[in-house]
Structure formats: C-alpha cells, structure tokens
C-alpha cells in the first residue's frame, strides 16, 4: 500500500543518506518507525529511498518533511504530492550475508546487490557491511569481475567511440599529484585521456580536490564530452556523474575508517575505467612501509588481479610499481598540490623534480603501451612536452574549458590563512617519513574539505638536519582546525630522526 | 577550543544515533560540516557525542538544535547553554583498523575501543565496522576475554553478594521461549536467578519482548534489586541498564543484517553475565540446518569457547546442545510466545509439550550444575514444580513485582487484529521447517515491534498433510504489514512438503 503525502521542504542538511520526517502520530498509525526505510515517488521521476525521522510539530499529518538532499536532487516544490511506501529489507541483504560469511556469489547476486546500493535502497549500515565484506575473504577474480561489471552497468557510460588511454594511481602516497601533468602531456600529443577522478578517500586530497582549486570539476556527461572534444582530455570529478554510482556510496562509508580493502580498491578503479571506456590503462602503485601498499609482494598480487581483470574486460593494463620513501612533491593538501602541478608545468625554479620525473615516466609508459612510440622512448617524448611548454598550454586549455581562470600563475594558487611551523626536536638524519601520519595531520587541519589546508615539507628522506630546523609548515583556513592539527602533530611524528 | 551555544529542543526523533543541528553559516565559520561529530557538555553531566546536521532557519546563530534523543536523555531545557567542541576521529579507530586486517589486539586497545563505543564516540559506520570485524578473523580466546571484560567494566554491575545462577539460549530458533518458565522453576526452589534479557536481535521476539506483553521490563538497577529481593528473580530488559552498554550499541547495528558473528555472540553473552555476577551458567545451543548454529561441529567449537571464557572469569559453564528441526512451541512473536509460556505454567490443555520438556530439562541442568541435587534428578524436580503450580505462582509473583496484571490467564494475552491463513499447495509429508524463513515472515509482519504480530503453526515436522490443509496463521496489528507479510510468505517457504 502507498500513502499520498504533501511535501514540505525542510532546511536541514545531514551528512550521509537521505532523510524524511513524518508526523509522529501518523507514522505510528501507518506502522512506520524512526529508522525505517520508505520510498518516495513524484510523478514519473526516479524513486528516492530515505530513512524516516518523526516529529509532531515540524510536520503535520498529511505532510512529509524533506531534508535538503532530497528536495534539492529531485527539485521538489512545497506541496508536491509524494507517493510514499514502507520498504521491506532489500532481498540482496541475503547476498550481503553470504559475503560476510566468506561465500562466493554469482553475477546475478552481485548485480542485484550493487543495484540496490546504487538506487539508495541500502542503509548506511548495510553499505558499511558491504564495504567490510572485502576484509572477510578475498574475492575471486571472477567475483571482482562481476562486481566491477555490475557497478559499470548500473550507471552512466561515456561511449566516446575512440581509443581511450588512462592512468590511475592507487593512492595512499601523500602529494603525488602527477595526474594533471600526465593528462596534459598525453593530450598535448593528440591522444584521448578523459580523466575522471575521485575526491580524497584515504588521503588529504584527491585529483578532483586539487583541480577544484583551479577550475570547476563538476559537470554533466554532455558538457564533459564537449570539453574532451575541445581539448582531447578533461580533469573532472567522477562522483557527480553517476558513473558506477554504487562505488561512490561505498567510498563514503569507507572514509571514516581511512582503510579500503585491496579488492574493493581494484574493483572501484576498474568499474570507473569500464564506464569510461578505457582501452589502455597504466596503474601506478607506490610501494612503501607507510603507503597503501606496503610490500612488493602485495603489489605483485594486486598487479596480477589488475591484469587478469583487464583481460576479462578486453583492456590492456600495465602496472608500474615504484618504491616510495616519502611524498612526491613537497605540498600536501588541495591548493598546495595544485601549486606543485603548476610549478612543474610552468618550470618554476622551486618546482619538485621528483614529481616532474615521476609524471614523465608514467606518461611515457602510457605512450609505449598505446604503441605511440617504441619501448624506451616514451619518457623522453613526455619530458620534451613539459620543457617546450606544450603540456602547460594544454592544461591551460583544459582549465579554461572547465571554466577556470586563464593563465593562472603557480604562485597565485595557495592562500595562507593560518600557519604554524613544526621544528626538529633533535639533530640527526631523517630515517623515516611517515606517510600515514602526514594524512592524519592534514585531515585534522581540515583537508580535503578546506582547500587551503595541508602541509608543506622542508626536509627530505635521508637529509641531515639540526635541532630546531624547520621540518614542515601546517596551513589551514580555520583557527579551531589549527588546534586539532597541532594535537595531531604531537601524536603523529611525520619525520623520524635517527 | 569550545563554543557556547544555547540549546533548542527540536521535536524530531531519528533512528540510531544522536543528532544536533547547527546554524549553516555559523557551522561554516566554525569549520564544522554536516556529518562531523561534536561533543556537548552541560555543567557536570556526562558528555554527549552527536552527529552534526545544519540548517539556516530552524536554528539561529548562537543556538544548537537537539533531536529528541539528546534532550530527553539529558533532560536539557530550552536555553540551557552547551559547551560544544568539534571532535576528531577517535584514536581507537586505529584498533578498529587492526581488527579489520585480522590482527590481534591487547586489553588496553580493546578497552579504549569499547569505551569509545560505550561513550557514543563512534559513529554508526564505525560501530558497524566493529561488528563486521568478527567476520574477518576469529578472535583468540584471550581477545574474547578482553572484549567481554572491557564491555562489563565500562558499564554498571549487579553486585548481589549471593551465588547467582543463569541460563542463556544462543537463540536463532523461533519460539523457544523457555526462559520465563525456567526462571520461575529455579526461583520457586529458592535459588537466585536475576534474568536480564535482550530484545530480539535476529529473531521475531526476545525474552524481553515476550515479557513486555505481561508486565513492565524496563527498570533501573535499584528497582531490579528490590524485585530480586522479593522474588529471587526478575525477567527484565537488560538494554536500559547500561550493563555492557557498548554491546547494546553493537546489537543495534547488527539488526539490519540479522547475522551476528559467533565470536560477537559469545562475547555479548559473557559480558552481560559478568556484569550480572553469574556463578553458574547453562548455555542452550539449538543445532539445526536453519538455526543460528547449523552443525554439531560448530556447536562444539562454541562450547569450547564458552567453557574456556568461563574459566577465565571463574564461572562454571555447562553447554547443552540439542538438535532442532522446528520451532519449540507453536507461537512465534511476542504475544504469541508469552501465551505459550503461560499455557505451560498454567497446564492448559493446548500447551506445547515440547516447550514444557525443554524448559524442565534446562532447569534441571541448572539445578545439577549448582549442586542443588544429584546428577539425573534435576529434570524430575523441575517438572514437579510445574505440575504442582509452584512455578506459575512464582511467575505470577514476578509479573506483579514488575507492575503487571495479577493472575493473568493464558488466553487473555494475544490480540488478533489482522490475520491470514497459509494453506498447503500440495499433499505430502513435512520434510523441512525453515526457521530462517519463519523469521523473515514474522519480521515483515512487524515483529518484534508490533507485539501482536507473528505466526502460529498448525503442523509439525514429519507430519503428513493434505493439499489445502492449514499450515500456519499470520497475525499483525497493521494492514500494511499484512501485505508485506504475504509477500514474504510467497518468497519464503516455511514448511517444505516432500
């Protein structure tokens, strides 16, 4: 049975999930309780699933109050009549249970589960269990394929009708903002690289967070296709696109733990690539004690899974594994990282050479994988595009196409609002740079939400330093966050002095 | 830094968790975002942790809006000034990560984690990950001990200064409402059995849900002690007591999955027993294909863990494993089950003999474990207490002490509002009774929230039936739920006819 209720916009914004408010008495009468799930339908638009809160005054009998996320997305007006139904437990919870017990599932089961997540039928708790299931038992290669395929199938797709190349870093290494550089190099050579990136999951900034400092990153599919037509590339946020939308919801519940399972990570990446229609893919895996992938053995396992999955999707995949002892580049945080990118492309005297080299190496690998040049020549070609300014010209073009400021200078990018320097407590040699502690400090400073928060490092791995030398500078736009950052810095030593 | 904000009661009730609403502009200014966690302090009362929503109209700058759960529990008045602080990620999330990766943790780590859950510092998502961690890798015996101890230590305790006996069923078998019968038998013989029960976790009714049909089950510790003094026993809900409060929060996030890990179940049970101060404990494990414990091998593993944990806590534990092919008793659902209990104790002609026998067997086991009688005599003594009416006299006394109606007759208990009969689609013999499908149907009918929902079975395992014979009757107080129940019955066959 369904009920007809008049919509009332509430100006309340919550974190994750959709919320609606029913009148307390009426909800009781209908047998609906706070925490239950209902579906709302408005005419022919897509069904919304939401959690129920109740109130005896804010919402009258015959009304349904909508939190901001619900009315904004569906453009519901006050008074619009919703058809409201109490929703039972989604059937695919049974598949969820099987995964929690470590049992294998088939494509049909995964498709139904991923579709339920994608449609918003799963509660936050249920989605969290799904995210946790990756830790229970490793997914088989077939299962990884099923999930990635289901994620791609339940969302929008690019369909560019051209050969597409792409690069993806598994992340977890601070800084390492090579993507905009690589994309600019590749596109400047006439290849198609439609780069959709996520925002930060377990790091202080994702490529989308860093790009957002320079231009818009949120576009619909049609606009993105125009940007690609104009520039051979794009550097946009993939989350707003409903490409593999289930993945985005899973990412949200992964954030509080700052820990993805490797299987989930592989699936998440491949799902987006399939939806983007990628033909040639280079995967960058930084390997180091405090990285997302700590050992070479694990990196090899992950490589095998990527290549095997690639074959199933008819995608050529090359995995590059690089030992990582410290961040690539010196800036960590959205604006600090976009400054690093511009410094490299504009060949600024303070640019980070490690970032420049890594980006050119990866761009070269793409060129070789695609067959653009002979093996061994890729990096040279890439470097030339940076030196001769063609790569910067291309990024400038992309920034403008994405409604950003033309000819922005690297030194205009960062705004220093509150800052605080951390100094060495003793003399010695830097024997370890703790990447996880960098993340912890930056997130307490407000990254990635606060674009101008993060750290800039002044010392490198292996360097000899004296007591009281500057180690790094913390930045944030918010005084309260600075206090949290200082506390985090006390508890999380970034530079270990031996 | 902390902010001082004036409280404003909002009449909004949400499902799980505490919510507060900040003014949108002010929150931005303070660097606080929807979904962030804050702590609230009112004078000397305990800190409350809550999730942030934002609103530009409902709450003005300088105010903090409180959802019902927050102001009700702390008795906050409009205008009361709260000291509000932005909370970082709890440190014990690191322990959570270790458990998700299957690593062992020590007592200190578990204590901090359990305390954070108990204090409400964990979000719903974080608590769900903890619940999921039991599926990742089995906890060692030491870890189970640490968690149970931490759960008991972070809550209130009974301290009765007398030898205490108890019985616990691991549940998962529909019906099986033996606890009130056993408690009445044991207390009628002068032993102390302070029974605190949970509400349903993965079944249509817990003992607390069934007892609530007959009397109050929610009391504070002092009142419970008075009830025990008067009657040697109690049959109350443990959840309101803050005994092992972390466990209650974990149970809430376990509900949507209807699936506990065995380790979590063992810990949950032992934590409450330690807080209750139990000296002699009988554990009932029904074993069957569609029960919570499906095989005898698994039951043996669980037995070993219970006994080993018992030793660490200096508690004598005896595990009784009984093969289970179908529900014990015919009624499933709160009121339907309390009717079964009264029918046994009042020796009604329609009473379920299987329930009577099982309850007397378990009561006898307690008597023997405690050394009240010789081995082999317990069940006979227990049965006599039922036959001679002493057990009913005791339950009547407990019901009255818990503010229920005196001398209530078994046939007055159930209210039949909406009902619907399910008939056999063919003739044959009942070859399987699907306990999990019973749960599914009952929960769709509204159990355990709707006390008068559930099913009453008309056939038994192994029985020969004809096409169109009545199999079971569904009950619910709500017409919408009846529809969901019918759909569930279509998808979940309870009686398999061979």
On whether any CB of chain A is under 8 Å from the CB of B483, the answer is: yes
CATH number of the CATH domain containing B273: 3.40.1030.10
- Say whether both A182 and A314 belong to one domain: yes
Q: Does B491 touch chain A (CB under 8 A)?
A: yes
Instruction: Classify the complex by whether its ipTM is higher than 0.85, answering yes or no.
Output: no
Residue B354 lies in a domain: yes
In a domain, B433, yes or no: yes
Contact B128 A133 (CB under 8 A): no
pLDDT of residue A29 exceeding 80:
no
Q: What is the pLDDT of residue A176?
A: 82
B403 and B426 part of one domain? no
Closest partner residue to A135 among B12, B100, B123, by Cβ? B100
Residues B489 and B473 in one domain: yes
Residue B336 belongs to a domain: yes
Taking phi over 0 as left and psi of -120 to 50 as alpha, with beta for the rest, B320 belongs to: beta
Considering only alpha carbons, which residue of chain A is nearest residue B436? A94
Q: Which residues of B353-366 are buried (b: 16+ CB within 10 A; e: fewer)?
A: ebbbebbbbbbbbb
Residue B487 contacts A, CB cutoff 8 Å: yes
Strand, helix or coil for residue A56: coil
* A73 and A180 belong to one structural domain: no
What number of other Cβ atoms are within 10 A of residue B140's Cβ? 12
- Return the closest-CA partner of residue A14 out of B36, B124, B128, B13: B36
User: Six-digit token pair at B354?
Assistant: 């299987």
CATH number reported for the structural domain that contains residue B438 in this entry: 3.90.1170.30
Verify whether the Cβ–Cβ distance A55 to B12 is below 8 Å: yes
Test A10 with B58 for CB contact under 8 angstroms: yes
Q: Do B53 and A15 touch (CB under 8 A)?
A: yes
> B281 with B363, same domain?
yes
What's the confidence (pLDDT) of residue A444? Answer: 85
Do A293 and A364 share a domain, yes or no?
A: yes
Is residue A254 predicted with pLDDT exceeding 90? no
Taking an 8 Å cut-off on Cβ atoms, the answer to whether B128 and A125 are in contact is yes
Task: Outline where B31-123 has alpha helix (H).
Answer: 68-74, 93-100, 107-118
Is the pLDDT confidence value at A202 over 70?
A: no
Residue A201 scores a pLDDT above 70: no
H or E segment to which residue A165 belongs? strand A165-169
Chain B residue numbers with beta carbons less than 8 Å from the beta carbon of A484 are 86, 88
* Domain end residue (candidates: A390, A410, A430): A410
User: Residues 3-22, chain A: which have Cβ within 8 Å of B?
Assistant: 10-16, 19, 21
pLDDT of residue B197: 87
Q: Judge whether residue A160 has pLDDT over 70.
A: yes
Residue B104 domain flag? no
% chain A with pLDDT above 70: 99
Please give the Cα distance from B354 to B351 (Å, whole number): 9
Of A31, A53, A100, the CB nearest to B259: A100
Question: For chain A, what is the domain count?
Answer: 3
pLDDT higher than 80, residue A142: yes
- Give A101's contacts in chain B (Cβ within 8 Å): 135, 259
Rounded Cα distance, A439 and A448, in Å: 10
Q: Looking at the complex, report in whole angstroms how far the Cα of residue A315 sits from the nearest Cα belonging to chain B.
A: 31
B372, B436: one domain? no
The β-bridge relationship of strands B165-169 and B280-287 is: parallel
Q: Which of residues 401-460 of A touch B (CB under 8 A)?
A: 443-444, 446, 449-450
Which chain B residues touch A479 with a CB distance below 8 Å?
1
How far away is chain A from the Cα of B364, in angstroms, using its nearest Cα? 36
User: Which tens digit of pLDDT belongs to each residue from A56-101?
Assistant: 888 988 899 999 888 888 789 999 999 898 887 888 999 999 999 9
Q: Is the pLDDT of residue A347 over 70?
A: yes
DSSP assignment of B211-245: HTTTS-----HHHHHHHHHHHSEEEEESGGGTSSH
Do A290 and A207 reside in the same domain of the chain?
yes
Residue B88: name the closest of A419, A446, A206, A438 by CA. Answer: A446
For residue A66, give the 3-state DSSP assignment. strand
Minimal Cα distance from B100: which residue of A? A135
Domain identity same for B340 and B471:
no
Residues of chain B contacting residue A57, judged by C-beta atoms under 8 Å apart: 11
Q: What is the pLDDT of residue B339?
A: 97
Distance CA B210, CA B119 (A): 29
Q: Is the pLDDT of residue A458 over 90?
A: yes
User: Whole-angstrom Cα distance, residue B341 to residue B346?
Assistant: 9
Q: Residue B22's domain is classified under what CATH number? A: 2.40.40.20
Q: Do B248 and B331 lie in a common domain? A: yes
Domain that holds residue A493: 418-497
Q: Among B86, B104, B127, where does a domain finish?
A: B86
Please state, in angstroms and rounded to a whole number, the distance separating the CA atoms of residues A443 and A454: 8
| CB within 8 Å of chain A, chain B residues 67-96 | 67, 86, 88-89, 91, 93, 96
Intervals of chain B under pLDDT 70: 1, 171-172, 201-202
Task: Give domain status of residue A425, yes or no.
Answer: yes
Which residue did the predictor score with more confidence, A47 or A384?
A: A384
Query: How far is A181 from A195, CA to CA, in rounded Å?
Result: 12
- Write out the two tokens for B71: 């102001």
Q: Is residue A243 part of a domain?
A: no
Distance from CA of A444 to the nearest CA of B (A): 7
Residues A292 and A385 placed together within one structural domain of the fold: yes
B132 close to A100: Cβ distance less than 8 angstroms: yes
Domain endpoint, select from A410, A427, A459: A410
User: By the CB < 8 Å criterion, does B258 face chain A?
Assistant: yes
- A287 and A352 in a single domain? The answer is yes
Q: Which of the two residues, A1 and A74, has the higher pLDDT score? A: A74
* Domain-embedded: residue A101: no
Q: Which of A1, A256, A484 sits opposite B125 (nearest CB)?
A: A256
pLDDT digit string, tens, across residues A418-428: 999 999 999 99
Please, what is the average pLDDT of chain A? 92
Query: A20: nearest CA in chain B?
Result: B14
Q: Which stretches does DSSP call E strand in A272-339?
A: 280-287, 316-323, 331-332
Give the gap in angstroms from C-alpha B256 to the nearest C-alpha of chain A.
Answer: 7
B76 is a domain residue: yes
pLDDT reported for residue A1: 63
Separation of alpha carbons A349 and A446, rounded Å: 29
- Provide the token pair at A282: 């280079």
Mean pLDDT confidence for A156-178:
88
């Amino acid at each position: 049975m369904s009920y007809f209720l008049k919509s009332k916009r509430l100006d309340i914004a919550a974190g994750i999930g959709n919320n609606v408010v029913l009148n307390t008495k009426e909800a009781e009468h209908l047998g609906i309780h706070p925490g239950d799930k209902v579906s709302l339908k408005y005419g022919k638009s897509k069904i919304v699933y939401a959690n129920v809160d109740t109130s005896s005054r804010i919402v009258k009998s015959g009304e349904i109050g909508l939190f901001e996320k619900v009315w904004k997305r569906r453009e519901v007006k006050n008074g619009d009549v919703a058809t409201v139904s109490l929703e039972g437990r989604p059937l695919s919870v049974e598949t969820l249970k099987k995964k929690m017990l470590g049992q294998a599932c088939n494509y049909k089961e995964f498709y139904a589960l991923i579709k339920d997540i994608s449609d918003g039928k799963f509660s936050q708790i249920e989605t969290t269990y799904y995210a946790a299931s990756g830790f229970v038992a490793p997914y088989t290669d077939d299962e990884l394929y099923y999930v990635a395929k289901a994620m791609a199938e339940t969302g929008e797709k690019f369909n560019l009708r051209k050969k597409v190349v792409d690069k993806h870093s598994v992340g977890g290494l601070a800084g390492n903002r090579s993507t905009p550089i690589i994309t600019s190099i590749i596109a400047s050579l006439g290849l198609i690289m439609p780069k959709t990136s996520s925002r930060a999951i377990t790091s202080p900034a994702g490529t989308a967070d860093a790009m957002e400092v320079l231009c818009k990153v949120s576009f619909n599919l049609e606009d993105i296709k125009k940007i690609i037509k104009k520039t051979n590339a794009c550097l946009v946020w993939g989350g707003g696109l409903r490409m593999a939308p289930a993945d985005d919801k899973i990412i949200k519940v992964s954030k509080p733990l700052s820990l993805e399972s490797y299987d989930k990570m592989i699936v998440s990446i491949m799902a987006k690539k399939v939806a983007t229609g990628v033909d040639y893919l280079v995967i960058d895996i930084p390997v180091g004690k405090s990285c997302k992938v700590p050992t070479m053995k694990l990196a090899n396992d992950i490589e095998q899974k990527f290549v095997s999955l690639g074959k199933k999707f008819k995608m050529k995949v090359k995995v590059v594994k690089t030992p990582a002892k410290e961040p690539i580049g010196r800036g960590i945080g959205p604006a600090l990282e976009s400054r690093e990118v511009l410094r490299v492309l504009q060949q600024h005297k303070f640019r980070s050479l490690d970032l420049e080299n890594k980006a050119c190496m990866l761009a070269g690998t793409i060129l070789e994988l695609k067959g653009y040049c002979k093996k061994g020549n890729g990096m040279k070609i890439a470097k030339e595009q940076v030196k001769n300014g063609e790569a910067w010209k291309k990024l400038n073009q992309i920034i403008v196409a994405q409604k950003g400021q033309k000819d922005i200078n690297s030194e205009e990018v960062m705004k220093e609002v509150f800052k605080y320097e951390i100094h060495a407590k003793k003399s010695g040699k830097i024997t370890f740079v703790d990447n996880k502690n960098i993340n912890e400090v930056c997130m307490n400073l407000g990254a990635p939400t606060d674009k101008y928060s993060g750290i800039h490092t002044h010392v490198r791995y292996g360097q000899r330093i004296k007591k009281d030398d500057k180690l790094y500078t913390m930045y944030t736009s918010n005084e309260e966050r600075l206090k949290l950052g200082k506390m985090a810095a006390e508890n999380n030593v970034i530079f270990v002095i031996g």
